[in-house]
């Protein structure tokens, strides 16, 4: 996702200069020696790829997932880079206008954020379905365009999701490392009712992700891996509890090594599944 060093009602709004800029908003790269992009999981929004051979599905602790509806939003899309005029169109995000979507970032070895987010999202969907949850994905493959950030929010809203998560990888300067959660800041007339439950969701996912993956809190943004923003349409327009996660900095060599590893992505999905179980287990809302 795009990198904003604190653009919110609590940290100040920042905008990237070009639709082709990755999450980091700069042309520099970070990370080295990471492998070529692994195959991207395919299928429809109602299916998820099997876990890698030899892996064991997560057993989320805390229960409470059966019957829940969870919206999972894999950030960006693989076709965005070849459809720049389409994704550059301006959409209303509740308190201003932004691009429909962006291309996302990538590692120095060329593993794209869109491929990463789709892989983690489909792994997570498989785990949550196994625990009885109904999963709604905002895109069904990594070869399409968009959808716009407004539609990504609307998909979760129409599903009346009990919780929603947008999965990203950051593109910050290579010296920064770690993950962070982005919670919604209040935007009058739009998301004020979901700010509090979203913060609760954010803490549950942060704690589970940190303990389950061993990835450090972000060294460059947020407080204990928590940030708040009011410039993201996916959060501003959501009517259901929702957060974003920047799973790591794809420009950083250490983070990139985990994000390009199938085992690393599986551990991320398992940790997030446990985070959802903890959120619902403690009484969502």
Give the pLDDT confidence of 102-119 residue by residue, as tens digits: 999 999 999 999 999 999
Using the 8-state DSSP alphabet, how is residue 179 labeled?
B
For all residues of the chain together, what is the average pLDDT? 84
- Phi and psi of 82, rounded to 5°? -95, 5
Residue 222 lies in a domain: yes
Cα 146 to chain centroid, rounded: 14
CA–CA separation, 175 and 30 (whole Å): 8
Q: Around 239, how many Cα atoms within 13 Å sit in the side-chain half-sphere?
A: 9
> Exposed/middle/buried for 277, CB within 10 Å: 0-12, 13-18, 19+?
buried
**Pairing of the two strands 163-170 and 226-229:** unpaired
Domain that holds residue 211: 69-281
Residues in the chain, total: 285
CA–CA separation, 57 and 5 (whole Å): 35
- H or E element: which one contains 70? strand 69-74
Which residues are known catalytic residues?
246
What's the pLDDT at 64? 85
242 is written with which tokens? 């929702």
Residue 159 lies in a domain: yes
> Exposed/middle/buried for 272, CB within 10 Å: 0-12, 13-18, 19+?
buried
Residue 220 lies in a domain: yes
What's the pLDDT at 284? 64
Query: Residue 190 belongs to a domain with what CATH number?
Result: 3.40.630.40
CA–CA separation, 238 and 191 (whole Å): 6
Residue 197 lies in a domain: yes
pTM of the complete model beyond 0.75? yes
What's the pLDDT at 254? 98
Best CA proximity match to 273, nearest among 213, 208, 224: 208
Question: Could you state, in chain order, the average pLDDT of each consecutive group of 10 residues for the chain (285 residues)?
Answer: 43 35 34 36 37 39 81 98 97 98 98 98 98 98 98 98 98 98 98 98 98 98 98 98 98 98 98 98 72
Per-residue H/E/C for 35-81 = CCCCCCCCCCCCCCCCCCCCCCCCCCCCCCCCCCEEEEEECCCCCHH
Residue 59 lies in a domain: no
> How many domains, in total, are found in the chain?
1
123 is written with which tokens? 């792994």
Residue 129 lies in a domain: yes
Residue 45 lies in a domain: no
CA–CA separation, 147 and 111 (whole Å): 21
In sequence order, the β-bridge partners of residue 99 are 90
Taking CA 109 as the corner, what is the angle to CA 104 and CA 110, rounded to the nearest 5 degrees?
A: 35
What's the pLDDT at 285? 59
CA–CA separation, 251 and 200 (whole Å): 29
Residue 32 lies in a domain: no
């Amino acid at each position: 996702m795009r990198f904003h060093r604190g653009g919110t009602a609590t940290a100040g709004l920042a905008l990237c200069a070009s639709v082709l800029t990755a999450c980091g908003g700069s042309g520099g790269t970070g990370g080295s020696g990471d492998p070529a992009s692994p195959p991207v999981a395919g299928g429809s929004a109602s299916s998820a790829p099997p876990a890698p051979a030899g892996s064991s599905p997560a057993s989320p602790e805390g229960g409470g997932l059966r019957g829940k509806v969870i919206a999972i939003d894999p950030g960006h899309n693989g076709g965005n880079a070849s459809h720049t005029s389409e994704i550059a169109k301006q959409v209303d995000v509740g308190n201003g206008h932004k691009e429909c979507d962006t291309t996302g970032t990538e590692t120095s070895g060329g593993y794209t954020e869109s491929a990463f987010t789709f892989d983690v999202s489909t792994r997570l969907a498989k785990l949550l379905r196994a625990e009885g949850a109904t999963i709604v994905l905002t895109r069904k493959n990594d070869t399409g365009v968009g959808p716009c950030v407004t539609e990504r929010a609307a998909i979760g809203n129409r599903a009346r999701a009990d919780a929603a998560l947008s999965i990203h990888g950051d593109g910050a300067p290579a010296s920064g490392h770690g993950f962070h959660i982005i919670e919604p800041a209040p935007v009058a007339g739009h998301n004020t009712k979901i700010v509090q439950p979203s913060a609760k969701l954010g803490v549950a996912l942060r704690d589970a992700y940190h303990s389950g993956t061993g990835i450090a809190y972000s060294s460059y943004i947020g407080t204990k891996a928590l940030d708040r923003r009011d410039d993201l349409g996916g959060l501003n327009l959501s009517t259901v509890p929702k957060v974003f996660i920047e799973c790591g900095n794809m420009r950083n060599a250490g983070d990139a090594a985990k994000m390009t590893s199938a085992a690393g992505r599986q551990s991320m999905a398992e940790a997030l599944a446990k985070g959802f179980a903890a959120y619902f287990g403690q009484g969502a809302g």
